[in-house]
Structure 1
Amino acid sequence: MSAGISFVGAGPGATDLITVRGARRIGEADVVLWTPSIIDAGWVRENTKPEAELIDLARHSDDEIVELYRRAVRDKLRVARLFAGDPATWGGLRAQLDICARVGLPADVVAGVSPMSAAAVSAGVSLVEADYADSVIMAGQETVGMPDLAQIKEYAQFGTTMAVLLPAARAAELADALRAGGYDDETPVVAAYKVSWPDETVVRTTIGELVATVKQHRLWRHTLFLVGCAVRAGRARPAAGESMRRPENAVRWSRTRSRSSWRADTRPAPTPAPEPEEPKRVTVVAEPVPKPAPAKAAAASTPTKSVTAQAKKTPAKTAAAAKSAAAKTGAKQPAKSTSASRTTTAKTAAKKPTRAQPQRRRSS
């Protein structure tokens, strides 16, 4: 079997949260580098080879670990090095991979469950939520030392979810840095100590009550603090009239043109253009036009002008017809001018256009 090393994420501490691949690498290793504080010692002894060498990382220096890598290359040993949570969140992973490449030791990385995710699941919250936080900022993920509080103050300006790992005895300094960055005292906080272990402690509090909560539960060692409105308890959506979910002075991320560089953009967010209103439908009801009376309609359909014009066109024929009718009835026709005869005939034709009716004889 060829030599090699696997950097295995041991998860938050519970043995059943180690991935199947990670457990296989541990069972195949000739040398296991680990720290008893990150995983149960009994499980490691039961799941390693009987002849496997178990080395406590807390008892060896960095130079001694590098010498062990060289020995693994020389003796063709398989090495498994365990890390708490996920190796991807460990800042020293790249340096370890560079050392392995320098000494000629092949290396691979096995992902693990992050304590940050385990703490959120234990508290029943999500780290990212559309209405409250669109990103997660991690600080102080090392299990030793103290994170830079000045950086925490800068990170707090973005008003998103923060995951800070630091000794609980420094909770007052953490609260001051968060306030200076823009969080108020009502901002929710989840404090998770030894999450997923049998004696885990996961409590809810706020920035204003953080110090009192830590003292009440006697938390002094390294504790993971989840800060932000996304880790609140209660409703999934804000109620009507609820205050701002993120700090008013929160800045936004903006991608610069430089390679993989990010910086805070303090410009105000652009106001979205108002959506065009949908045109309203208007129904127009046309009032019915009143129809003319039958008498008027008949008068309109037989204009006098047309009859008169017709009479003007045939004056000779009209006069001859009138004389003939008068001769037959024997009535005395008054002497009238040609124009008067034409007018009388036109009026008679307008009243009864069908035919002329004979007049009765007057008695003397």
Structure 2
Amino acid sequence: MIHFVGAGCGAPDLITLRGAELLRQADVVIYAGSLVNPALLANCKDGCQIYNSAEMTLEEIIEVMAAAEQAGKAALRLHSGDPCLYGAIREQMERLEKFGIPYDETPGVSSFCGAAAALGAEYTLPGVSQSVIITRLAGRTPVPEGEELWRLASHGASMVIFLSTGMLEEVERQLMMGAYDEDTPAAIVYKASWPEERVLHCRVGNLARTAAEAGIRKTALVLVGKFLAGTKERSKLYDPAFTTEYRKGTEK
């Protein structure tokens, strides 16, 4: 069995209980060395074989997994955040299926959740936004037609932009082609939940300058939207006049 485990967004204690237990039991661990906090490897037992996938190809990763399976060893693939976002897990799973090797997946705390926590923010505020767009700017890795940043920006929803900190001038340009203007609230969160976490508040029109002045070029998320300005109206859920399945509302 190959276990795919989300390591969480950085802090070692943000891995799930299930993920931590699987990590302690693993005989072989392949971790995303460019993004996973190495402090998590302290959970590995003595004699565990540890591989850094940042230095490996897909073929080499699968070879290690297959060898572990053949030897009857428990293998674990440790991804940053939650593996379902920009984790390149599906191609690994398809290879394992081809070779008849079983696998399972344990989710983790994504960095977009860690970034919101660092900001004390809520993406889905009544009267402000009820949708969250998670995306990236096209770079060396393209995006499908119709998913260009400027097109998604037309919705004006809460937005989280991954893997784009080195291209912020273009991010600014495309955001302002959509529903955002230069004064729309924005934030840059560097290494959410890590000891070196940094939170920078800014506006869409000065994203690039803010990052440059702080010396941030990678490993950061860009958050955009009016949700960063706070609430506009209270939620119905806890409004005393609102009736729910569990509570009868009162007159205003």
TM-score, normalising length: structure 2? 0.85
Residue 231 of structure 2 corresponds to residue 236 of structure 1: yes
d(CA) in 2 for partners of 1:42, 1:118: 17
Give the whole-Å Cα distance in 1 for the aligned partners of 2:105 and 2:8: 13
Calculate the aligned-residue CA RMSD, in Å: 2.1
CA contact (8 A) 2:125 2:231 kept: no
* CA gap 1:139/1:7 in 2 versus in 1, 3 angstroms: same
Q: Which amino acid aligns with 2:119?
A: A
Per-residue deviation at 1:15? 0.2
Paired positions, count: 231
1:37 and 1:93, CA in 2 relative to 1: closer, same or farther beyond 3 A? closer
Structure 1 range deviating more: 58-67 or 114-123 = 58-67
Change (3 A) 1:70 1:146: closer
Distance 1:172 1:131, change over 3 A: same
Letter paired with 1:61: T
Partner Cα separation in structure 1 for residue 199 and residue 96 of structure 2? 38
**Corresponding position: 1:182 with 2:172:** no
Within the alignment, does 1:11 sit opposite 2:8 as a pair?
Answer: yes
- Partners of 1:98 and 1:229 lie apart in 2 by 40
Q: CA deviation at 1:231?
A: 1.9
Equivalent of 1:217 in 210, 214, 218: 214
2: distance between equivalents of 1:37 and 1:141?
Answer: 20
- Alignment partner of 1:92 is 2:98: no
> Is 1:74 aligned to residue 70 of structure 2?
yes
1:37 is aligned to 2:34:
yes
CA pair 22-211 structure 1, distance change in 2 beyond 3 A: same
Runs of 5+ in structure 1 lacking a partner? 239-364
Distance 1:91 1:37 in 2: 12
Between the aligned residues of both structures, percent identity stands at: 32
Match of 2:119 among 114, 123, 126: 123
TM-score (norm 1): 0.60
Give how far 1:215 is off.
Answer: 1.6
CA contact (8 A) 1:89 1:141 kept: no
Corresponding residue number in structure 2 for 1:350: none
| 2:184–2:203 CA contact under 8 A, matched in 1 | yes
The alpha carbon displacement at 1:92 in A equals 2.4
Matched residue of 1:169: which SS?
helix
Q: Which residue of 1 aligns with 2:97?
A: 101
SS at match of 1:130: coil
Q: What is the CA-CA distance between 1:220 and the residue it aligns to? A: 1.1
d(CA) in 2 for partners of 1:125, 1:146: 29
Instruction: Determine helix, strand or coil for the equivalent of 2:29.
Output: strand
CA 189–111 in structure 1, closer or farther in 2 if over 3 Å, else same: same
Q: Does 1:138 align with 2:134?
A: yes
**Residue 297 of structure 1 aligns with which residue?**
none
Considering Cα pairs closer than 8 Å and 6+ residues apart, tell me whether 1 or 2 has the greater RCO.
Answer: 2
- In structure 2, relative to structure 1, the CA distance for the partners of 1:204 and 1:32 (3 Å cut) is same
Are 2:203 and 1:206 equivalent residues in the alignment?
yes
Residues 121-155 of structure 1 show CA distances to partners (whole Å, capped at 9, x for unaligned) of 1101101112111111111399x955649611110
Q: Secondary structure at the match of 1:98?
A: helix
Deviation readout 1:174-194 (Å, 9 max, x if unpaired) = 000101123111111110111
